């Protein structure tokens, strides 16, 4: 006996329609379950298998700061140290004032001045004054070659005399500065005397090194 037995024709038609709808719904539901792509499935340890933001799918390129990057070149020559301003041997640099130049204290020039010949003459009433002055000068390194008396006139004060424009000038001025007396050009009475510094000592000569 059919389930539609005893039903009117309209009732039968409605029942058939309901059954058909149910069958179609069941079929559609089954197809949907079988056709899922799993794009929302979880990855290992519950993390999403989707790529992080800003990256594309597939194999990722190594980061730009990989350890395989070539280190900066170290083949450049190091900066050479600046050359010393003073040449070997203690010589002064060209263009700079050095020791021993005329007009400067100390240095080779002053040492060379002391090899200029010096002669000492006594023009005082003190016996042996020239010899005493000679010992003072020689003890300071001066080249004293003669000790004598000067009796051709009266010299007012102890003075070292020189010929201008010669080595005697620098030597006489240095000697006079060291021992505290004057240095002047030769006067007429000794103008033609033997070359060298002529020191005429008088009563005002005081023994001892006076220079600074």
Tens digits of per-residue pLDDT, 48-75? 444 444 444 444 444 444 444 444 444 4
Which three-class secondary structure state does DSSP give residue 14?
helix
In the block, residue with structure tokens 């030597």: 171
Question: What confidence score (pLDDT) does residue 87 get?
Answer: 37
- The tokens of 155 are what? 């010299």
Strand partners, 144: 118
- What whole-number distance in Å separates Cα of residue 16 and Cα of residue 4? 9
DSSP string, 145-182: EEEEE--SS--SS-EEEE-TTSHHHHHHHHHHHHHT-E
State how far the Cα of 163 lies from the Cα of 111, in Å rounded to an integer. 20
Confidence of residue 12 (pLDDT cuts 50, 70, 90): low
Least Cα distance to 160 among 170, 145, 151 occurs for: 170
Rg of the chain over Cα atoms, rounded to whole angstroms, equals: 60
The domain segmentation of the chain, as residue ranges, is: 109-159+166-201
Residue 101 near residue 158 (C-beta atoms within 8 A)? no
| Contacts with 131 (C-beta within 8 Å, 6 or more apart), sequence order | 120, 147
28 band by pLDDT with thresholds 50, 70 and 90: low
Summarised one tens digit per residue, pLDDT across range 187-202 is 999 999 999 999 999 9
The two tokens of residue 79 are 């900066």
Proportion of the chain above pLDDT 70, given as a percent:
50
Instruction: Indicate if the pLDDT at residue 146 is higher than 50.
Output: yes
Q: Are 160 and 169 in contact (CB under 8 A)?
A: no
Q: Encode 9-33: b = buried (16+ Cβ within 10 Å), e = exposed.
A: eeeeeeeeeeeeeeeeeeeeeeeee
pLDDT at site 108: 73
- pLDDT computed for residue 109 by the predictor: 73
Residues 75-120: tens digit of each pLDDT: 445 444 444 443 333 333 333 333 333 334 445 777 889 999 999 9
* pTM > 0.95: yes or no: no
Can you tell me the mean pLDDT for 125-130? Answer: 96
C-alpha 188/C-alpha 165 separation (Å) is 17
């Amino acid at each position: 006996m059919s389930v539609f037995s005893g039903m009117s024709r309209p009732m039968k038609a409605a029942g058939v329609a309901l059954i058909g709808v149910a069958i179609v719904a069941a079929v559609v539901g089954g197809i949907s379950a079988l056709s899922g792509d799993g794009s929302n499935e979880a990855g290992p340890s519950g993390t999403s298998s989707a790529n992080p933001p800003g990256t594309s799918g597939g194999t990722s390129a190594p980061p730009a700061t990989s350890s395989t990057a070539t280190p900066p070149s170290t083949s450049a020559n190091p900066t050479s140290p600046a050359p010393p301003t003073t040449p070997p041997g203690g010589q002064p640099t060209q263009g700079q004032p050095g020791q021993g130049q005329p007009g400067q204290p100390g240095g080779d020039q002053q040492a060379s001045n002391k090899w200029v010949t010096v002669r000492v003459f006594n023009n005082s009433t003190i016996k042996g004054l020239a010899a005493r002055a000679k010992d003072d000068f020689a003890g300071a390194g001066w080249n004293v070659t003669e000790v004598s008396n000067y009796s051709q006139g009266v010299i007012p004060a102890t003075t070292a005399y020189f010929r201008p424009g010669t080595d005697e000038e620098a030597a006489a001025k240095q000697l006079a500065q060291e021992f505290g007396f004057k240095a002047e050009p030769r006067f007429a009475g000794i103008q033609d005397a033997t070359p060298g510094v002529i020191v005429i000592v008088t009563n005002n000569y005081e023994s001892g090194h006076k220079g600074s």
